A and B are shown apart, each in its own frame.
Chain A
Amino acid sequence: MSIAITTQIICFTVLSLVILVGALGVVLLESIVYSAFLLGGVFMSVAGLYLLLNASFVAAAQVLVYVGAVNVLIIFAIMLVNKKEDLKPINDIKSRRIISTSICLTLLSLLIRVDLTNVWSLSSPQNSIGEESTIRIGEHLFSDYLLPFEVASVLLLMAMIGAIVLARRDVMSNDISTGLPVDQELIEKSSEPLLTNKN
């Protein structure tokens, strides 16, 4: 076995272990902050797997989008609303856990079945496009995948407008969550700086 293949196998084992243990930690840990940081670790390891598959552009995009944007936003949200409150104990917690575990295991067995029955067409390492893949991705995005690409951007635009409406309460007269009229006095208005209008 050559050194390159050995390195690849070691990297693959370590990355898969990190992904599995990290993902279990995200679900099972009590502290939500730990879960969020572990999620970042899982995203990073997935990027490492892409790197092993010679897809460096996808790996960098994974880091930029999932770690740099999604995970940072999740952590932001957790830290800004990290209230210490005692959660109400749920009575039938045991049966709920059993149900959710069985649903997850069913899904897992379905995926394993798909993996075993499907015939995966693997391209040989000689045929891999490697660094060319960036150009290929660009070509596909602007030809046969143009419509999904544009629809995704419209979706993002809608999400952005929704976030702005939610954040700027003066757009609506009633509070969304409670239905009470919004006290317009409480809304921050940009005020004149104190120092500019003197003398």
Chain B
Amino acid sequence: MEYGLDLEYSFNEFLKGFGLSSEIAHIIWLPLPMLLVLVAAVVGVLVTVWLERKISAAAQQRIGPEYAGALGVLQPIADGLKLLVKEDIIPAKADGILFTAGPILVLVPVILSWLVVPFGQNLLISNVGIGIFLWIALSSIQPIGLLMSGYASNNKYSLLGGLRAAAQSISYEIPLALSVLAIVLMTNSLSTIDIVNQQSGAGILSWNIWRQPVGFIVFWICALAECERLPFDLPEAEEELVAGYQTEYAGMKFALFYLGSYINLILSALLVSILYLGGWGFPIPVELIAKFLNLPINAPFIQVFTASIGIVMTVLKAYLLVFIAILLRWTTPRVRIDQLLDLGWKFLLPISLANLLITAGLKLAFPQFFGG
């Protein structure tokens, strides 16, 4: 299965052509994919914000942003610029250090998690062995940032919002991790690359969603709860808590929360598509297409075609899920806090445990279908 573009190798060879040592070439290479992914994440946020505004407008029979660029596509940039130049206010009775560190602690783990998101066989920053486990570990740091900003704001609504956010995040992490564990059990590996390759056998038919339907639904619900999207946006429920832990924030610090929540949404959608929807895989296997066209799988044309199809498919699947998340936000009511915790602990946790047990049993009973 080791085919596909290896940009790093080609780039290093290219630099060595200028007489640089391989170490220097590696150091020049290192920041490039990081910058690329950071830019991709920010552009993804801009697109998602525009989609959110347009889809919410359609759901409420409005027009939505219209004047900033064609169909209002420049509106998110205008929003971002506004937040960038706004005055940075730290409330007089707030705790300055923690107030500043909170939003950073919320944003950084989310961006770090992009390390393991693959867009193709070699198109990811680092194929670390612990792969998906890194994401689970990093996402557990976020509650600390939320608690920190809630506490530092010195405002009862902020503190309540921060506590709620942390409670929600902790309780939904467990079913999330358990449903990922079922996938890992089938793959025999934690690496995101292996997880996608395991699903690439027969195109759409071999995607994990058919083998893990329960896990898919549990994971999606938990991912929405982790992103604090409506129906689970209790930490910032306007009617009860003003804006939760964000109440005292303005300007760029608020923008960090905003950016963090949208990057997290896109990340969750990408991970759902990687874990359950075949990642960069095309619904029809590329090998079949290559055979149909009578081209060898290693031909340069096929390689470029595979890589671009991979990126397009990953982004397409992710944005389909983002669309569903936005539609859910504007059409469903919010749950109460006790309903939220009941759903997490009394429903999703037992179901995901049972799912894990059944997956393990099926793996032993039908090793050819559930990974041997």
Contacts and interface: CB of A to CB of B under 8 A. Distances in A.
Contacts of B137: 60-61, 63-64, 68
B147 A76 contact: yes
A131 B170 CA distance: 28
A63 B166 contact: no
A169 B41 CA distance: 49
Interface string A55-73: 0110011011001110110
> DSSP majority for the B interface?
helix
Contacts of B46: none
A49 interface: no
B144 interface: yes
Given A33-B151, A76-B147, A79-B159, A69 B130 contact: no
Contact of B98 (A37, A63, A76, A134): A37
Contact of B144 (A2, A57, A67, A134): A67
A72 B144 contact: yes
Contacts of B173: 68
B141 interface: yes
A130 B129 contact: yes
A40 interface: yes
A134 B138 CA distance: 18
* Interface range for B: 20 to 34
Contact of A64 (B136, B144, B162, B190): B136
A76 B163 contact: yes
A75 B130 contact: no
Contacts of A80: 163
A52 B95 CA distance: 34
B104 interface: no
Contacts of B23: 2-4
Contacts of A4: 23
Interface string B125-146: 0001110011011101101100
B85 interface: no
Contacts of B166: 72, 75-76
B125 to A, nearest CB: 15
A33 to B, nearest CB: 6
A76 B169 CA distance: 13
B126 to A, nearest CB: 11
27 contacts: A4-B23, A33-B151, A37-B144, A37-B148, A40-B144, A44-B141, A56-B128, A60-B137, A61-B137, A63-B137, A63-B141, A64-B137, A64-B140, A67-B140, A67-B144, A68-B141, A68-B143, A68-B173, A69-B140, A72-B143, A72-B147, A72-B166, A72-B170, A75-B166, A79-B151, A80-B163, A134-B130
